[in-house]
Amino acid sequence: MSTDEASPELAWFKSSYSGAEGGECLEIATTSRIVHVRDSKEPARAQLAFLPSEWAAFVDFAAGR
């Protein structure tokens, strides 16, 4: 992953299923080539990066499709 792909200017979004009470939440940020994933409680820690096709396959699997 290039430095510009991991820049802090990414627009991060929490799941619509995340509640205000905290808990275990993920945030994602997308670019045209990469889907970034991080822990919303520890945003400065390491992030994961996936190709959009890989992320779509994961979402389909998680949704039971």
Q: CA–CA distance from 9 to each of 4, 6, 15, 31, 43 (Å)?
A: 9, 8, 19, 11, 13
The domain in which residue 45 lies consists of 34-65
Asked if the structure places residue 17 within a domain, the reply is no
End-to-end alpha-carbon separation of the chain, Å?
A: 30
At 2, the pLDDT band (50, 70, 90 cuts) reads very low
- Number of compact structural domains in the chain: 1
Find out whether 29 and 36 touch, Cβ atoms under 8 Å.
yes
pLDDT tens column, 19-46? 666 667 889 999 999 999 998 888 899 9
Per-residue pLDDT at 3: 41
Asked if the structure places residue 54 within a domain, the reply is yes
Per-residue pLDDT at 58: 93
Question: pTM, whole model, 2 decimals?
Answer: 0.73
